[in-house]
Structure 1
Amino acid sequence: MMAPGTPAAVGKRGVMDRRTFVAATAALAGGAFPGCARTQPFRPRHRGAGHDDDRPAPPSGLAIWPGPPPGGGGPTGREHVSASGAVTRVAIPRLTVLRPARPNGAAMLIAAGGGYRRIEVQKEAMPAAGWLASIGVTAFVLTYRLPPEDWAAGSLAPFQDAGRAIRTMRGQAGHLGIDPRRIGVLGFSSGGHLLGMQTACAERLDYAPVDALDRESGRPDLTMLVYPIVTLEPPYQHTSSRRVLIGDHPTPVESARWSVQTHVHSGLAPFFLAQAADDPVSNPQNTAILQAACESAGVRVERHLFPTGGHGFGLGAPGTQTVEWPAMAESWMRRERFV
């Protein structure tokens, strides 16, 4: 199990400092699979009258595979966490669980971006987990396999992890203290592509079933994508995501197959989209294309395009309107009766 952080290491918004994050990540990555798979039974934290400490419980770890991931392979050596908290050399895909002080039963799977070459866990995922915990949502941060790191599954590796993560959350909902009918996803940048594809292709299983968890639904009940990569088709194909997943010279069929909008159909979870108009990485047409696909398929969608903010603003770039998106998302989740 992931080494728990101390209560003092988690601020009121639930953001771990880098030292705690590195220690927790290293502990899980270095542990055996059976140890990673065990989690403590969920027990709500009851607080006495007048107690104003709303900090979440220390983060814990949850493996998503009972053994090596499908196909095997992967990086050698220890997992690496950069000075900014970006993760590479992921040998054990997993979930980091941040439980609210006052859980409401809703759960959110979070995937940070990084162009499928790294995972910006500390910059994007952990602040988002802290925000969600502050409104009662149990957050599950996904550390997923990276295709360039020699996995036999290749480009399918992170998608296998995302689907398995949702099935694990749903299959262990009672143990985790979450509602299996209120499992949402939140993706940033390439993490938005990952979870957008998972939303649109939720019941696809890209590996031989491992255990009973693979009989669970991989469908999220709600999807939030922030400055996501949506399409890998021209003229918006100049991204690391496209190069990593399908190479420099994909066929039109490949480009379409790996684009989220291609797979949007009726019956999907509702979408919340947020992006800045001056995004230099993910052209704002990405969210416009997804919005149009949702509207055409009769899928509920809400899109917010902010004048400035660039790319990679996480919970919002100071001095720009992007700082408003978490409050907008909370209001939207309440309208969707998710929280």
Structure 2
Amino acid sequence: MIDRRHALLGTMAAGLSVGVHAQAPPPARIGRRRPRQPDPTETIELWPDGAPGSPSRLPIEVVEDRATGDAVADRAVHGIARPRMVVFRPARPNGSAALVMPGGGYARIVVDREGYEIARWLADRGWTVFVLFYRLPGDGWAAGPDVALSDAQRGLRLVRSSATRFGIHPDRVAAMGFSAGGHVCGDLATRFAQPIYAPVDAADRVSARPDVAALLYAVQSMALPLAHPGSRALLLGPSPTPALERAHSTAANVTSATPPCFLVHAEDDRSVAVDNSLAFQSGGDKGRRRGRNASVRRGRARLRPEPRRRQTGGVMADPVRRLVPRTRPWLTNFACDHSASYRKSRKRAAPLPAEYRPGRSIRNPPRTLW
């Protein structure tokens, strides 16, 4: 596991479509600041005829500019009425895809820090990345606490069903989520087969199971005192029943069908307690589904960016340099050695270091990995 909000990079939403490829503009800038790199222009609507179960009054999408001074872009968006994926295409695709789910406490979507920054970083390394703008449960959608999961299922199915169009392998589609987006990702990894929306087209006959999942300082439990209070209230309401809490606690839903998961969390996280990730790991042990996790003793201090963050290629340099050494072996192993057909045609990736064996907690990951 590793660290957290202030020190993290972004997360990105995935986009593909079947049949008609609808285009929707990404969030506009607000305030005086512009992103230091142009926003991507390729977006894909998840629902061709509009999102199902809409409230009587659709939410109004609003973009906040949360950066101060000369800090890098830090936009957040709320009121998602058109769930969609924003596509980051690599110059040299490696055949792997990632569906990225930014966090925001189920109150907003963190566009840059937990979306576009990590998407650009992955795309620079050959990944085709889709940043998911999912609907928020507090906006009155009929699916209630399952509304974000329905968008994640639909998004992953669209990615996989459009593998030829994007030059990716359908058996090399990863999911990655941060904070509350990590809860969406954990829900997808454990409840990918649960029917929560009526099929729309042929894409919905494709599996929504990610081949691997990365849960970064993820909200996992919905039971107090472990639950993140804000995410719990927005997802389940002020007084959820124990049964509802358990149904939406990802650790309780881990089975042998859950894909391999990589957990990243700081032990000193004051926003989402590290016990969330430990509970998911314990659930994986019970479900006989082992994952890899790496932790740091005081992650916030080790990973916090400098006050004046310099940028390299549009990505916050310090968080990337500190976080990626822990995730890079996992990413490399998946990208280069996951698919049986790919293994036959390409050079086998270097094995993961012994310190990263399943179930092992790493307090001081080796720096030589970067």
Query: Structure 1 residues 220, 227: CA separation in 2 closer, same or farther (over 3 Å shift)?
Result: same
What is the aligned residue count?
A: 292
Aligned mates of 1:137, 1:35 — CA distance in 2: 21
**SS at structure 2 position matched to 1:86:** strand
Q: 1:92 to 1:57 in 2, by over 3 A?
A: closer
Deviation of the 1:68 alpha carbon: 1.2
Q: Distance in 2 between matches of 1:158 and 1:61?
A: 18
Of the candidates 121, 129, 152, which is equivalent to residue 119 of structure 2?
A: 129
The DSSP-based 3-state class of the residue aligned with 1:334 is helix
2:222 aligns with one of 226, 229, 232: 232
Map 1:1-339 to 2 at 5 A.
Answer: 36=22, 58-73=40-55, 76=58, 78-83=60-65, 84-310=74-300, 316-318=303-305, 323-336=321-334, 337-338=337-338
State percent identity of aligned pairs.
35
Distance 1:195 1:185, change over 3 A: same
C-alpha deviations, 1:35-86, integer Å up to 9, x for none?
7259xxxxxxxxxxxxxxxx99944111111111112237647521111310
- The 3 A distance-change label for structure 1 pair 35 and 288 is closer
Normalised TM-score (structure 1): 0.79
* Residues 285/127 of structure 1: CA separation in 2 closer, same or farther (3 Å cut): same
Deviation larger for 179-188 or 149-158: 149-158
Rounded to whole Å, the distance in 1 between the matches of 2:56 and 2:105 is 18
Q: Report deviation, 1:248.
A: 2.1
- C-alpha contact 1:105 1:182 (8 A) present in aligned 2: yes
- Counterpart of 2:362 in structure 1 is none
The CA deviation string for residues 253-281 of structure 1, in whole angstroms up to 9 with x for no partner, is: 11111100011011321111111111111
Alpha-carbon separation, structure 2, partners of 1:119 and 1:151: 17
Cα gap change, 1:61 to 1:75, in 2 (>3 Å): farther
Q: Per the alignment, in what secondary structure is the counterpart of residue 82 of structure 1?
A: strand
Q: Distance between the aligned counterparts of 2:21 and 2:328, measured in 1?
A: 35
Cα offset, 1:181, TM superposition: 0.5
| TM-score normalised according to structure 2 size | 0.72
Counterpart Cα distance in 1 of 2:267 and 2:56? 37
Check 1:295–1:223 CA distance in 2 against 1; reply closer, same or farther (3 A cut).
same
Cα RMSD of the aligned pairs, angstroms, is: 2.9
Whole-angstrom distance in 2 between the partners of 1:74 and 1:123? 32
Seen in structure 2, the aligned counterparts of structure 1 residues 123 and 236 have a Cα distance that, compared at 3 Å, is same
Alpha-carbon distance in 1 for matches of 2:85, 2:171: 19
Whole-angstrom distance in 2 between the partners of 1:268 and 1:78: 35
Question: Gaps (5+ residues) in structure 1?
Answer: 1-13, 16-20, 22-27, 29-33, 39-54
CA contact (8 A) 1:276 1:322 kept: no
**Aligned residue number for residue 368 of structure 2:** none
Q: Please give the alpha-carbon distance, in whole angstroms, between the structure 2 residues aligned to 1:262 and 1:112.
A: 23
Q: Which amino acid aligns with 1:68?
A: G
CA contact (8 A) 2:60 2:79 kept: yes
SS in 2 for 1:96: strand
Pick closer, same or farther for the CA change 1:323–1:282 going to 2, 3 Å: farther
**Offset of 1:155 from its aligned partner?**
2.0
For residues 133 and 206 of structure 1, the distance between their equivalents in structure 2, rounded to whole angstroms, comes to: 31
The separation in 1 between residues aligned to 2:280 and 2:84, in whole angstroms, is 28
Shift of the 58–253 alpha-carbon distance from structure 1 to 2, 3 Å rule, reads closer
What code does the residue aligned with 1:332 have?
Answer: W
Higher relative contact order, structure no. (Cα contacts within 8 Å, ≥ 6 residues apart): 2
C-alpha distance after superposition, 1:152-185 (max 9, x if no partner): 2222211110000001111111112211110001
Work out the CA distance in 1 between the residues paired with 2:45 and 2:59: 19
User: Relative to structure 1, is the Cα distance of residues 289 and 148 closer, same or farther in structure 2, using a 3 angstrom cutoff?
Assistant: same
Contact 1:86-1:118 within 8 A present in 2 as well = yes
